[in-house]
Structure 1
Amino acid sequence: MTQPICTSTTPNVTAPADTITLDETARHRRRAKLTSDGGIAFLLDLPKARLLRHGEGLLLDDGCVIEVRAAPEALMEVRGSDPRHLLALAWQIGNRHLPAQIGADRILIRRDHVIEEMLKGLGATVSHVEAPFDPEGGAYGDTHSDHHDHDGHGHMHHHHHHD
């Protein structure tokens, strides 16, 4: 079976050649053989492990761009009764070293029935949702938060086609 080959000679940031859809765990990589959603095989080879963010582009040797997409995951949406309560809930989640995506009025974490019961016991409103998961980075060199897409155009990372 022949795999699609990207034949572009110059990168076109506005029109990626393909996409790759991965959950948060699969997006946190340094080196891996990957295959895009349309079948383009390539080697991801970064200097250090980091979280590939939704909307970032992977620039292949031939100039093609593969857009990273965050796959929806089974998560819990945690809400507090007011901003102070949500902050206290965030502290409880952080105290347990759980990856968390923090928003202005909610926190997303992976589903865990023990944590869910704890949060409900603390007065949180907890809902089950399916959503992309993009947790905060750590304070000690974890590169989760090093590459946020502030301008909406994503970042480019250079990678090799894999035969």
Structure 2
Amino acid sequence: MIIEKVITNVNDMQEEIKKYHIEKVYLESGDLVKRIQRVKTDHGREIGIRLNDSKDLMAGDIIYMDEKNLIVIDVLADDLLIISPRTLNEMGTIAHQLGNRHLPAQFEDNEMLVQYDYLVEELLEQLNIPFRHEERKVKKAFRHIGHHHD
């Protein structure tokens, strides 16, 4: 089976999702940006993904649907630093430091999420900015923003 598009996301299905049998494809967050890949569902079914559009996959995306079955993308947990600045000054300081390192970040509520890096952990300790180290699923891939210095 070759998948060429995302049908919808489970978040858009509400109660009707309960009537389907669900197979999952577990991906690392970095694989969410890949247009072409071969994957296997948790039921052992091999699937080729060759997406036509440039939109990244997201947790909960439904890539196959029939009357009874869904195949849904799920994301494996990432090793993350969850940064919780107390003030705007702390947020600006750590954002500037991470930006200088070209580290991609995501934001959920009042938290900044970055992939684990022991140097960033040491920096946060030195700056006395609150953080915790945990495994957590993210909804989308960490994406580097295209930029170069002149």
When the two structures are superposed, what TM-score results if normalisation uses the length of structure 2? 0.70
> What amino acid is the match of 2:98?
I
Answer 1 or 2: which has greater helix percent: 2
Structure 1 residues 27 and 120, CA gap change in structure 2 (3 angstroms)? same
Identical aligned residues as a percent? 22
Which of the numbers 51, 55, 62 marks the counterpart of 2:56?
51
Which of the numbers 87, 101, 112 marks the counterpart of 1:82?
87
* Secondary structure, counterpart of 1:18 in structure 2: strand
Measure the CA separation in 2 of the matches of 1:103 and 1:92: 19
Which stretches of structure 1, 4 residues or more, deviate above 6 A after TM superposition?
A: none
The residue that corresponds to 1:110 in the other structure is 115
Q: Which runs of 5+ in 2 are unaligned?
A: 1-7
Q: Which structure 2 residues correspond to residues 21-60 of structure 1 after superposition, within 5 A?
A: 21-47=26-52, 50-59=55-64
Q: Is the 8 A contact 1:31 1:44 kept in 2?
A: yes
Aligned residues: 129
The residue that corresponds to 2:97 in the other structure is 92
Which of the numbers 13, 18, 27 marks the counterpart of 2:23?
18
> What amino acid is the match of 2:27?
L
CA-atom RMSD, angstroms? 2.8
Q: Is the 8 A contact 1:86 1:105 kept in 2?
A: no
Measure the CA separation in 1 of the matches of 2:117 and 2:142: 18
Q: Which runs of 5+ in 1 are unaligned?
A: 1-10, 141-163
Q: Deviations over 1:42-97 (max 9, x none)?
A: 1100136653111111137x785311111112111112122442243223222321
Measure the CA separation in 2 of the matches of 1:46 and 1:138: 20
